[in-house]
Every structure is written in structure tokens, then in C-alpha cells.
Structure 1
């Protein structure tokens, strides 16, 4: 799960209840499993041989559903990122059992103790995954990155690739990755800064024990290898988006920036954490000053993620330019087809556009239907993530009933005041009248209910 890890499995009982509440699938129907085993045996016969290219993958050490591999070469002042993406569409046909099940799920759903995959393991963790144990079918994007960090799609093809190594974020060394890896990332990040893009990926939260045996929520900052790898994916997705938009087709990721009320709440949250956010500085500028290594900075980055108006998908419309505020550009999802349904169709469109062929009717039709399907899946995943964090907060505060906590009011409404604890990444509501956003107050923890994943505070004095 992106938001939280539970290495000691202290949340096991509560996670089981969350799985039941949100009907998270425990596996796949037998017919779907059988279809996956049959599809896994398909021999790629529409793929050019690119096994000589030195691709590597870079993911969490334990990951086995590997969507991307990369190789890098120089072309004068430019760098060419060869980005191999798992060819899920090779194994899944329109309307077959695998396709129908994927449309039901929309995404891979992650929890701290496991996941419910978009596709069965026979594909997602074996035949389609870009593991380093033999050739795999892939869609290879050629992304040209110029010295200013502009990314352009030079081409796309179906190809057989062979990963040289499965690298892990926690163990990778500079000498393990292709030459130019750090330079591509530096260029992309510099272009982000010039565009005014925001960086809202908070560090991962972890449930851990302190020196006295009590549980607490800590933050694990993103490693440099993760940041650089994310830059490669960003470059590929930006290049794909511009290529599709120019061709008058596509499915785009769109997001508005936080509105004025949400930004006001964030300013009071920053105040609660003792962070200096100058009045003249925009949210995007302030975010770029945060490293995310200090717990309070990490907690604020998590608050920014919660405050956003949410990203969604939108098909191409003539005369409209789809926009993603956090990226500050036109943006598409294409690089995780083993985990997101939409990416499989975006990649099919890319193959058609770069070959000068019409986009298949099934793909154009899917672009119209996918926004609703993906919104439903992401809403479910968001509810699950919120439930998991609520559960972790009850574990964190169990046994501290009666204790006072410093808090800042971030918002008010008919249901009372929303508060942010000053010393913990916990947001709650409290019955309090005549308080204003930004006002500091002291609250007492009255009740901790892990079964309902609920905390109850009351004002002190």
C-alpha cells in the first residue's frame, strides 16, 4: 500500500474487517484463473527482437508485478529513454474472461498485508511481468529527453525484451543502473521546477514500536532511487500524452489544484506543524521547499494529498486541453498496465498513432467508458486507504485516553471543527463552537474504538 506499511502485522484483525467491509476480492474465479494460465502460454509473434538492449527494472525489493524496464542511450545532447512496458494487451483480448474481470476491478487494490490484483498472478507476476528470467513481450517507448528536460515520443513498438537485473530501491547502487539514469531524472525534475509543478508524493507511513513497546506512526522518506525512477515514468507519461493529444485521441489524467478554502486549511495545517509558509509563496512553491524527511514536513505532504480535489480521467475532446495541476502539463497514464486498466488501452492507442494507423474502435469506445470505471475503482481504493489510516491512528492512540493534545482548527462546519494535532499526523473532528480556522486549542482524547476505527476528542477548558 502506498500510504502505509505494517511490517509487524499489528493491524491484522482490523485489516480483515476492512477487506470484508469493502468486499476486497480474495482471489479470482476458477474460469478467470484458467484463462490466465492459457493466455500465459501465448508465444509472441508480433514483436521485434530487442533482447540485446540492456534493460533493467527498479521497484520495491519484494515486487513481482513489474510493469516497467528501462535502458538509456545518448543521441548528441539528448538522452533516449527506452521504456519497456509490460504488454498486457498481448495476453488479454477484448471481451474475454480476463478483460471482463479487469473491467470489474479497474485497479490493483493494495493493503498493508497484501493486494487484490487486476490480473491473476499467472500473468501479472509471471508471464507478463518484466522479470529477469527470460524474454518478455513489451511495448517499448522511445522517449527523447532534451537538455531542458522536454520529453518527446520518438516511437513505440511491440518488442521482445530481456531484463538484465531486478533492482530494488533499498539495495540499488549507482553502478547497477544504466549510465544516464541520474541525468535523465535531473533534467525531468528541472523541467518540473520551471513549469511550477507540485510534488505531492508524501513519504510512506509505517506502524512501528517505540522504545517503550508502544505503537507509533513513523515516516519513511522516499529514497533517491524512487524519486529518479518516478521521473522516468513521468517523462514517458508526458510524452505519451502530447503524442495522443496531437493525434486527436487519448485518455488523460486531469486534476484541478486545491481551491481557496482547501488552501486556507493547508495554511493552518502548516501552522499546526510549525512550518513557515510565507504569505506571498504559492502552495506549489512551498511544496518544493519540503524534503519530506522531517516528520512534520512528511505529515504536511500527506495533508496536501488529502486536500486535493482529486484526479480523474477524461477522453480527448476537440478544442480542449486536458490539464493536470500537480504536473502542470497535459498528462496520461500509460506505464502501469498490470495495475491500472486504463493504461492497457492508452498503450494500444500509442501503438496505432506512432504507426500511422487508426486507433481501434474498441479503444476509442473504451476511452469513453473508462472514466466512470476508473473513478469507481479509485473511490473504493481511496476509502480503503482512509480506513486503513483511521485504523492505524486508533492503534497509535490506544491507551492514551484522557491525555491532552495540542491542536489547530483547520476548518469548521455543521459537524463541529476539524482539527489537526500538532505533534501527530492525525486529523479529527471535535464539537467546538465559536472557533475559527487557524485557532490553536487543547483537546483531550476521550475514546479510542479500533472496531469502528474511530477517535473521539473533546475541548479542554
Structure 2
């Protein structure tokens, strides 16, 4: 859960209830921990020495599960991104207790008060994490980025790396980073623009007290360093996806376009936030010009992210084109193996393909099984996220019962009407079917119960 943070602990009691309700694991079984501790002492034996490369990491300052480190160099008109990915696969044996537990979990679960990791901390925040306290095993993807932003996987190898610095988004200085990072990020952004991509990255929401002491949901502006870092993962994932698809293998991240009804809801949401969206402008064009620095546009970005037909994983199929609508490209997940199970197998396939080897049958079989496993894990993460949002909204509105709120009806179905508040990033339901999408109404807050994670409005006539 990265979309809401809670620095003042306003959600603490409710989060404990959410953890209990959704059975969020608080620890790992003893056998899993023992196996992980033994694996953490393994000495890499088939890794090249790349400790001379000036790798650095760039993450939230408090993060310790570091999946990626990077270095950049020029090669004529191209830029070479050396992207080191945590080699968790080196520490996990197929079928061992750590592997079995990872298949049960599927992904790391995030909540504002902490996470439930995919792997035990001795690996994910220790031996396998690309921390700057010593050499670490990694898989290095070498990505060639052309002047027009087109990417190509030049190579992949297991290697020992040493991070020079653990850089934080909020404190990093330009001279801490590779000199060519701004140009590389600009090339990737230009390529996105050229192919019509509409990647939406809304900022985090933070539960914090306003000047009057009331709790509010506020957006934390997305930092330029985050934007540049996101370009690195995008470049690597696209290059790996293309390489795997060319060899008729892989596991891809797919996403359909929002349907007409979802787009209509978003137009009403934009109206609620007083964000101009001309009738003839497509959703793709509209969302590309939204700014996460504007609170209302940030809230709209959040609505867009949640409005699509959902993302899924799909293995390679002859005659099918795996497509991610927001990326406007074939796309995979390979850059966060400490946090997503699927990435570990995509990395293994990329190592094989880049070095002229056949992808192992075990990996090919995993590609068939992973979509269901990842869908189950993401469904749980989605339910937890929705519960946290419900809690945050109830905390924010608690004590405001009886107040009036302007809203826009975004949709009407058999359950009633969905309404978007005009001055807060809150989407609610009211039991009233006699409304028209796009209608402006006034609501009266009837209840805001943090214990039940429930808010209730009625139309105020």
C-alpha cells in the first residue's frame, strides 16, 4: 500500500483491524526463516566481477529492500543503462520452503504502518538487497537506449556489484546521480509520447492534520527524482519484454483500455474537480497533460488509475499480441523480484534468452501458473488497499457529520449512484437511483465511522 502514508499514526487502530481481518502475515514460519538464514550465507560462484562499475540506488529514504541499482555510460549516440537487479534467485532453491512460501504470498503487501514481505528480511532487506554495505549478487541488464528512446536488451549476466550510495528521493542532489540520467529519462519520455503511451503515476496520499487540527487526505507531490527513476524500470521492462517475445516465450503484463462507461465516469469526475476536459479530447491525450503537482489533477490521476479494466499477467501465446494499453507497448515485470514473485522467473528467462540458452521447462511451466497466483495476490492487495482508503476517508470525515458537500454523480447502477465529492478525493455511494450521471448535487454527511470504515451520505434537498 504505497498510495497512502500515515506519519502521525492516525490510522493505527484501524490498520491493526485490517491486518487481522485480511490475515496479513506478521512473520514467516520458522522453517522458512531457517532456510533463508542458511541461504543468506551462500557464496556466489558463477557471477562476474562488476564491482568497478559506479552503481547507485535511488529509492524512498527508508527503504531497505532495494531491487535495483544503476550506472549509465555513453556508446556513440546511444546511452547504455547497466541495470543491476537483486538476484534473489541465487538464494532461493526451486521447491525449498522459501520458494513455497513465496508462491503462497505472490507479492509484498504494503500498508501505511509497514509491509508483509514476499521473502524473509534476512534476504529481502539483507543478503539479496542491493545495499551499499558490501558486494551483492545481481543480474545486470544492459539496455541500449537510442536517441529516439527506443530500447534494446544488449545483454544480461549474473554479476557481483557494489553500490556506491543509497540515495533517497527527497534528498538526492543532481551531482549524486549519473550525469546522463536526465538525458536518458528525457529519451524514454519522448518515446512514450511518440507511441501514445499514457502512463499515470499519481502521487502518494498522506493522512495529516491541517492547520485546524482536523485530519485530511493530502497529496504528496511526486518528486523529479522519482520520475527519472521510473524511466529506468520502464526502459528495462520494455527491453526484456521485446527480447522474450522475439524468442516466443515470456510472461507479460497486459491491460485493456477503459471502456466507454469508465471514460464517461472519468469525465464526470473531471467536472467534479473543475478540471477542463474538452469534448473532442481522448482520455490518452487528456491524462498525459495532467500534473501530479496540482491536488485536483492528482486526485483525477488516482481515479484514472482505478478506472481501467484491470491489469493481468499473460504467458506468451502464438498469434497473440500481449498489450499494455497505458504503456502502448508490450511490457513485462522484471525489475522488482524482491517484491513480486513473477519477476524472479522473468529474470531467469531473460538470462537464458540473452545468452543463447533455452528457457528452462520449469520457468516455462511457471509462466503458465503465475497468472492465477499473481491475480490472487493482487486481489488481496486490492482489498487491503480499499480497506485502508475506506479507513482514511472515515478518519478524515469523522466529526464532520451534518456538513454539506458539493458532488457530481459519476454513474448510476442497480445499487444506486456513485458520487465524487468536489473538494476531496472521496468517491462514495448513495442509495438513490433517480439521478443522472453528470448531475451536480449537494450531499449531507450522515455518518463517518472509523471503526466500521464506513461513510454515509444522503442527498440534501
Equivalent residue number for residue 324 of structure 1: 324
The answer (yes or no) to whether the contact 2:50–2:159 under 8 Å persists in 1 is yes
SS in 2 for 1:307: coil
SS in 1 for 2:306: helix
The answer (yes or no) to whether the contact 2:140–2:158 under 8 Å persists in 1 is yes
Query: Displaced runs of 4+ in structure 1, greater than 4 A?
Result: none
- Greater shift, 290-299 or 110-119, is seen at 290-299
Tell me the alpha carbon deviations over residues 18-72 of structure 1, each in whole angstroms, 9 at most, x when there is no partner.
0011100000011110111000000000100000000000000000000000000
Would you say 1:440 and 2:440 are equivalent positions? Answer: yes
The answer (yes or no) to whether the contact 1:151–1:238 under 8 Å persists in 2 is yes
> 1:166 Cα deviation (Å)?
0.3
Equivalent residue number for residue 279 of structure 2: 279
Normalised by the size of structure 2, how large is the TM-score? 0.99
Unaligned runs of 5+ in 1: none
Equivalent residue number for residue 26 of structure 1: 26
Q: Distance in 2 between matches of 1:179 and 1:307?
A: 38
Matches within 5 A, 1:50-449: 50-449=50-449
> 1:432 Cα deviation (Å)?
2.1
Normalised by the size of structure 1, how large is the TM-score? 0.99
The answer (yes or no) to whether the contact 1:431–1:459 under 8 Å persists in 2 is no
> 1:199 Cα deviation (Å)?
2.4
- Greater shift, 231-240 or 288-297, is seen at 288-297
Would you say 1:4 and 2:4 are equivalent positions? Answer: yes
- Greater shift, 427-436 or 108-117, is seen at 427-436
Q: Distance in 1 between matches of 2:447 and 2:110?
A: 29
Matched length: 461
> 1:434 Cα deviation (Å)?
2.4
> 1:201 Cα deviation (Å)?
1.2
Unaligned runs of 5+ in 2: none
> 1:257 Cα deviation (Å)?
1.2
> 1:435 Cα deviation (Å)?
1.1
> 1:387 Cα deviation (Å)?
0.6
The answer (yes or no) to whether the contact 2:198–2:284 under 8 Å persists in 1 is yes
Q: Distance in 2 between matches of 1:299 and 1:159?
A: 42
Q: Aligned-residue CA RMSD in angstroms?
A: 0.6
> 1:179 Cα deviation (Å)?
1.6
Tell me the alpha carbon deviations over residues 187-230 of structure 1, each in whole angstroms, 9 at most, x when there is no partner.
00111011111121111000000111110010011100000000
